[in-house]
Amino acid sequence: MRLVPWLYLGAAFVFIYLPVAALVLFSFQESNLPVPPFQGPSLRWYADILGDDDVMQALAHSLMVAAGSSAVACVLGFFAAYGLARHVLPGSAFLRGLLIAPLTVSYLIVGLGLLIVIQRAGLGLSLMTAGVGHVVINLPLCFAIIYASMGAQQQNAERAARDLGADEFRVITLVTVPMLAPAIAAAFFLSVTLSWDEFIISFLLTRFDVTLPVEIWSMLRSGLSPRLNAIGSIVFLVSVTAVLILEILVFRKRRP
Amino acid sequence: MSRSAEQRRGWGFVAPALLWTLAFFVLPFAVMGAMSLATLEGRTLVWGLSLANYAELAEKAYLWRAIMVSLEITVTVTVVSVVLAYPLAWIIAFRVPARWQRLALLLAILPFWTSYVVRSYAWLLVLAREGVVNQTLMTLGLISEPVTLANTRFATVTGFVHFFVMLLTLTIYANLIQLSPNYRRAAMDLGASAFQTFRHVILPLTLPGIVTGAFLTFVLCIGDYVTPQILGGNTELTVPQVIMVQLGRRADFPLASALAIVLMAIVTVVYLLSARWLKLDRL
């Protein structure tokens, strides 16, 4: 009986890691099919995709969109949080609700709405439009994370700075931002992870230049391939790295 | 600083985010609503206040079927995920030693952070005809012919459950760990069995965490296009898949918009039903 919890934990981990293990293991497959039996290890498919211009370009696009949209979302989210936490505004509960609202709507619907407006306005689709969509979905998270960490402690430091003659700009750059750095960084890396992995908005809102998940999607049409395993493993590795950075930031913050 | 100047300054800080949300979220949403009331005549779009697209949902069997398929899959996924995640969260919270808990939790949800596309593809590797499961079963001699696992509802549900077990483990763990151990001790002291303690003390106290996680699961699951498209194949279509078909082949934006509004309506109903226990701000 005492073993049951540990068996359950083990079984859960097998279930959780089975697809990841299959993905990573068969990315080192020698032959053309990423299925058992395993033959290898071989770096053939990594060499293959690293030499593939389309894939490498899509990867660069993904990094650009992720970094750009996350930076914009963090800046907008920070200012909105500062405005709402430090100033008494009429209807502030409604404003908070409005800023958080995109979280409750599925990405498909956010993308569809933007697609309709962009087409009606006669504008073209590009990485920029996908980036705009990513800001829409990440802004609520950035706002919520930064708003939640704006406590009385920072406010006292801000008041002290103001009493000592600092103007608003100095208060923000010298007091508020440094004190909130862990929260801002956490918001940024969370956004990067979500944007990096996001598919449906990018799929709807890009045309010629695409992001990596969209490129993977179009490669999927030709079925199982070790190339896809290799790209998928790289995508997973990047996400995990961002999450580990996030974890370290949040974990550090909790320690006194 | 006077009150109004102070307010103006506050608005200045909020304005950029507010305008962004209004321009790129509220406006598109309103246009989508209007679009759902427009109609297509041939290839030209006619704006209006027609309920024709909504009437089509009731008239055309495949549209109605898609709504049912989406609901069936989403409810199955939500229930199975809660049932599987609860014990996992429990074990991590109460059986794993405190210093290893954070690591165990991090590991348990690490694959959560892969894109839908990559995760679904990875499940395809596992479930395909020549895939890991079939090959293993055949090597063990348990089956002689490969079993069809991919391109079925089973595959879609498996892919979803994998994702949402991780999400729910996180929300339920967060809830369990906040419980004071005194509740359990008190129940035990008063003579409750382990099961009674769970049923009458722990379960009611963790209901908000369960409902919050289940709500998120419902919302994300019913709106996802990738998982059913890659793992379910085209044997049966969910609402997001039908929306994408309307956008692609037929460029029928009005019908796609109406379907999107229906999805929103379903989510709103579920939100209202679970609002009593939802603690979205505690996430």
Work out the angle at residue B120's Cα, subtended by the Cα atoms of residues B116 and B125, and round it to the nearest 5 degrees. Answer: 150
Residues 6+ apart with CB under 8 A from B86: B168, B172, B210
Q: Is the model's pLDDT at B53 over the cut of 90? A: no
CATH number at residue B91: 1.10.3720.10
- Please write the tens of the pLDDT for every residue from B207-225: 888 888 899 899 999 999 9
- Please write the tens of the pLDDT for every residue from B70-93: 999 999 999 999 999 999 999 998
CA-based nearest distance A41→chain B, Å:
17
With a pLDDT cut of 90, the percent of chain A lying above it is: 39
Contact B252, B40 (CB under 8 A): yes
pLDDT at A149: 84
How many residues are recorded in chain A?
256
Q: What is the mean pLDDT of residues B133-142?
A: 85
Q: Is the model's pLDDT at A253 over the cut of 60? A: no
Classify the C-alpha dihedral A59-A64-A70-A73 as positive or negative: negative
Q: Do B122 and A232 touch (CB under 8 A)?
A: yes
Q: Is the model's pLDDT at B256 over the cut of 80? A: yes
pLDDT at A37: 75
Sort out which chain A residues have CB atoms less than 8 A from B13's CB and list them.
79-80, 82-84, 87
CA distance A161 to B18: 28
Q: Phi and psi for B178 in degrees, rounded to 5? A: -80, -15
With a pLDDT cut of 70, the percent of chain A lying above it is: 97
CA distance A96 to B108: 32
Q: What is the mean pLDDT of residues B240-250?
A: 88
Q: What is the mean pLDDT of residues B115-136?
A: 88
Three-state secondary structure call for residue A160: helix
Please name the member of B6, B12, B20 whose beta carbon is closest to the beta carbon of A135.
B20
Q: Phi and psi for A7 in degrees, rounded to 5? A: -65, -40
State how far the alpha carbon of B272 is from the alpha carbons of A110, B258, B276, in Å: 21, 21, 8
CATH number at residue A112: 1.10.3720.10
Q: Do A15 and B225 touch (CB under 8 A)?
A: no
How many residues are recorded in chain B?
283
Q: How confident is the model at residue B273 (pLDDT cuts 50, 70, 90)?
A: confident
DSSP string, chain B: --HHHHHHHHHHHHHHHHHHHIIIIIHHHHHHHHHHT-EEETTEEE-S---HHHHHHHH-HHHHHHHHHHHHHHHHHHHHHHHHHHHHHHHHHHTS-HHHHHHHHHHHHGGGGS-HHHHHHHHHHHHSTTSHHHHHHHHTTS-SS----SSSHHHHHHHHHHHHHHHHHHHHHHHHHHS-HHHHHHHHHTT--HHHHIIIIIHHHHHHHHHHHHHHHHHHHHT-SHHHHHHSTTSS--HHHHHHHHHHTS--HHHHHHHHHHHHHHHHHHHHHHTTT--GGG-
Q: What is the mean pLDDT of residues A31-35?
A: 79
pLDDT at A80: 94
- Please tell me which residue, B66 or A124, carries the higher pLDDT value: B66
Q: Do B108 and A19 touch (CB under 8 A)?
A: no
pLDDT at B1: 53
Query: Is A59 inside any structural domain?
Result: yes
Most B CBs within 10 Å, among A72, A109, A245, to test the B interface: A109
Q: Is the model's pLDDT at B56 over the cut of 60? A: yes
- Residues within 8 A of A (CB atoms), B 193-232 only: 219-220, 222-226, 230
| Mean pLDDT for all residues in chain A | 88
Q: Domains in chain B: how many in total? A: 1
Q: Is the model's pLDDT at B282 over the cut of 50? A: no
Sort out which chain B residues have CB atoms less than 8 A from A217's CB and list them.
117
Query: Is A15 inside any structural domain?
Result: no
Structure-token pair, residue A179: 């004190």
Q: Do B108 and A247 touch (CB under 8 A)?
A: no
pLDDT at B69: 95
- Please write the tens of the pLDDT for every residue from A242-251: 888 888 877 6
Query: Is A101 inside any structural domain?
Result: yes
Contact A254, A55 (CB under 8 A): no
Query: What chain A residue is nearest to B122 in terms of C-alpha separation?
Result: A19
Q: Is the model's pLDDT at A43 over the cut of 80? A: yes
Q: How confident is the model at residue B279 (pLDDT cuts 50, 70, 90)?
A: low
Sort out which chain B residues have CB atoms less than 8 A from A86's CB and list them.
10
Query: What chain B residue is nearest to A8 in terms of C-alpha separation?
Result: B88
Query: Is A9 inside any structural domain?
Result: no
Q: What is the mean pLDDT of residues B54-60?
A: 87
* pTM, to two decimals: 0.88
Residue ranges making up the domain that contains B227 = 59-282
CA distance A180 to A145: 10
Query: What chain B residue is nearest to A88 in terms of C-alpha separation?
Result: B7
CA distance B204 to B215: 17
Query: Is A12 inside any structural domain?
Result: no
- Please write the tens of the pLDDT for every residue from A177-223: 888 888 898 899 889 988 988 999 999 999 889 999 999 999 888 88
Query: What chain B residue is nearest to A104 in terms of C-alpha separation?
Result: B219
Q: Do A79 and B17 touch (CB under 8 A)?
A: yes
Residue B102 touches chain A, beta carbons under 8 Å: yes
CA distance A68 to A135: 9
CA-based nearest distance A75→chain B, Å:
9
Residue ranges making up the domain that contains A104 = 53-254
Q: What is the mean pLDDT of residues A158-173?
A: 88
Q: Is the model's pLDDT at B175 over the cut of 60? A: yes
Most B CBs within 10 Å, among A1, A3, A13, A23, to test the B interface: A23
pLDDT at A255: 46
Sort out which chain A residues have CB atoms less than 8 A from B18's CB and list them.
80, 95, 98-99
Q: Is the model's pLDDT at A228 over the cut of 50? A: yes
Query: What chain A residue is nearest to B89 in terms of C-alpha separation?
Result: A9
Please name the member of A35, A110, A239 whose beta carbon is closest to the beta carbon of B113.
A239
pLDDT at B193: 82
Q: Do A35 and B132 touch (CB under 8 A)?
A: yes
Query: Is B142 inside any structural domain?
Result: yes
Q: Do A80 and B18 touch (CB under 8 A)?
A: yes
Q: Is the model's pLDDT at B270 over the cut of 80? A: yes
Please determine, for the modelled complex, whether the ipTM score is greater than 0.85: yes
Nearest to A132 by CA among A220, A46, A70: A70
Q: How confident is the model at residue A51 (pLDDT cuts 50, 70, 90)?
A: confident
Query: Is B269 inside any structural domain?
Result: yes
Nearest to A176 by CA among A192, A162, A190, A188: A162
DSSP at A51: T
CA-based nearest distance A40→chain B, Å:
16
Q: Do B122 and A19 touch (CB under 8 A)?
A: yes
CA distance A127 to A130: 5
pLDDT at A120: 87
Q: Is the model's pLDDT at B96 over the cut of 80? A: yes
Q: Do B118 and A82 touch (CB under 8 A)?
A: no
Q: Do A117 and B230 touch (CB under 8 A)?
A: no
Query: Is A182 inside any structural domain?
Result: yes
Sort out which chain A residues have CB atoms less than 8 A from B11's CB and list them.
83, 89
Query: Is B202 inside any structural domain?
Result: yes
CA distance B59 to B144: 45
Category of A114 on φ-ψ map: left (φ > 0), alpha (ψ -120 to 50) or beta:
alpha
Work out the angle at residue A65's Cα, subtended by the Cα atoms of residues A60 and A69, and round it to the nearest 5 degrees. Answer: 155
Residue with tokens 């090959």: B135
Sort out which chain B residues have CB atoms less than 8 A from A242's CB and list them.
113
- Residues within 8 A of A (CB atoms), B 233-262 only: 240, 243, 247, 253, 256-257, 260
Query: Is A43 inside any structural domain?
Result: no
State how far the alpha carbon of A199 is from the alpha carbons of A141, A205, A225, B19, B224, in Å: 18, 10, 20, 25, 10
Q: Domains in chain A: how many in total? A: 1
| Mean pLDDT for all residues in chain B | 87
Alpha helices in A53-151 (DSSP H): 53-86, 92-100, 107-120, 127-148
- Please tell me which residue, B283 or B46, carries the higher pLDDT value: B46
